[in-house]
Amino acid sequence: MPQKYKKILYNAPLKSKKLVILRVETKANEMTTIKNVLPEWQIERLEKMLERARSVVVTCHLSPDGDAIGSSLALCGVLRRLGKYANVVLPDQLPLNLRFIAEEEIRPVVYSMHPNHASVLVERADLVFCLDYNSMHRIDKLAEVIEPCRAPRILIDHHEDPETELFKLWMSYPEMSSTCELVYRIIVQSGWQRHIDRFVARALYLGLMTDTGNFIHDNSENPELYYIVADLLRYDIDKGELYNRAMNTFTENALRLQGHALSKKMELYPDHRVALIVLTAAELEEYDYHKGDTEGLVNRPLSIPGVTWSVFMREDKRCVKVSMRCEKGFRVDTLCARYFNGGGHELAAGGDFFGPMDDAVAVFHRMLAELPAPVACDGDNDEIFEKLNIKTDIDNEGNKDTDTRHGGDSVDAACGM
């Protein structure tokens, strides 16, 4: 039976004044739309907290990626259109490939570069949003300003295991593709769609694109995600330009560094189907390393047949930064949590090792020794992690239906409302 279509007219700031959108009407006569997945009490709580706030600060995690800066700029843009004095405060500078988005309408204040200005904004804030992170250690020294701040904090994030005691209201949805998807859904459910413009749409699309690997990762399988993308494209954004600037732009030194890493520093461990890349501080200096130069490097070994997970270690000033990626059926967040003081998502995670590089590599080899070989990405690895006493979805099954899995508020917040 052929599908029926219904024409819907939208007034939107596009090239033409009106755009005809086709919505598919199913056999059950249900319109294919984006579902309201956030509970109404969360939206109401958020709106009440915003009513009381005039000055708002939006923050994201250290070393911001596209999702972190995109969600922060988009939310800040909407808040300004709601009449708030809103600013974005970053722990440190953006990588070169993402700075273009912060040079348009809203210019973030970088704490590591302008600590006094950033501190004043936080101290005078009536409300602080914490986007794309769920623990204070993820914002580094900025936490020294955020934690003692009198303003209540609202968490909007898609990572597992939030430190909920740090926030008055938390909106935590690990099943979301990105924090940008969550911010978009909040905007829609709050009735703020009219405040989306081209700048906000570009910022949201940037985060959706980068956190899903240009919509090829497993976190991009929800069909509703593409209705969101379709809506954002209505605002005349150039997705090709955003892709090239954010995901396909490298300096000559960055390309040479990645070439060196793949040709000289990549080691394969066939018994465990894993690849390891290690870059020391001396090697980074040789290639004039800048933040973002190794973006995507950890994913490259996964293109080798037989390699199902990948580890990248980069020597930083204070620690060794560890990144892990894997194919579906395995999980690296638990390994990062157990061995490298980190966490993240099942297929993409990271952590920090506080010690010399040689010791970090030794921990990697100990990790392999404790993992049965061969490790397969066949979806049947729960027993492996149980033997290591690592928390898995099975361990948390009893908590899946609790309110705190997706959000909540503190006792103080509940009493205060």
Fold type of domain 252-380: Diaminopimelate Epimerase; Chain A, domain 1 (3.10.310)
pLDDT of residue 374: 58
d(CA 238, CA 255) in angstroms, rounded, equals 25
Q: Tokens 């509703």 appear where?
A: 224
Please say if the pLDDT value at position 43 is more than 60: yes
d(CA 100, CA 229) in angstroms, rounded, equals 21
* Domain 40-245+403-416: assigned CATH number: 3.90.1640.10
Specify the pTM. 0.80
Count of CA atoms in the C-beta half-sphere (13 A) of 213: 15
**pLDDT tens digits along 194-227:** 999 999 999 999 999 999 999 998 899 999 999 9
* CA distances, 35 to each of 12, 45, 215, 372 (Å): 21, 20, 20, 42
Tokens, residue 194:
């009219």
**Checking DSSP bridges between strand 320-326 and strand 348-353, what pairing results, if any?**
antiparallel
Tokens, residue 84:
């708030």
pLDDT of residue 108: 98
pLDDT band of residue 372 (cuts 50, 70, 90) is confident
Answer for the pair 348, 324: CB distance below 8 angstroms, yes or no. yes
d(CA 309, CA 342) in angstroms, rounded, equals 17
pLDDT band of residue 188 (cuts 50, 70, 90) is very high
pLDDT of residue 376: 53
Please say if the pLDDT value at position 2 is more than 70: no
pLDDT of residue 345: 87
Answer for the pair 152, 168: CB distance below 8 angstroms, yes or no. yes
Residue 66, H or E segment = helix 66-81
**pLDDT tens digits along 286-332:** 999 998 899 999 999 999 999 999 999 999 988 999 999 999 889 99
**pLDDT tens digits along 76-111:** 999 999 999 999 999 999 999 999 999 989 999 999
The ranges assigned to domains in the chain are: 40-245+403-416, 252-380
- Please count the helices (runs of H) and the strands (runs of E) in the chain: 14, 15
Percentage of the chain lying above the pLDDT 70 cut: 82
Q: For 367-386, what is the mean pLDDT?
A: 66
Residue 361, H or E segment = helix 357-370
d(CA 207, CA 180) in angstroms, rounded, equals 6
Question: What contacts 24+ positions apart, CB below 8 Å, involve 380-386?
Answer: 380/329, 381/329, 381/330, 381/331, 385/331, 385/334
pLDDT of residue 195: 97
Percentage of the chain lying above the pLDDT 90 cut: 75
pLDDT of residue 407: 58
* 116 compared with 387, residue with greater pLDDT: 116
**pLDDT tens digits along 223-244:** 999 999 999 999 999 999 999 9
* CA distances, 263 to each of 252, 267, 282, 308 (Å): 16, 10, 17, 19
43 CB contacts (<8 Å, ≥6 apart)? 186, 189, 190
pLDDT of residue 12: 38
pLDDT of residue 351: 94
Q: Tokens 């990549």 appear where?
A: 266
Please say if the pLDDT value at position 21 is more than 90: no
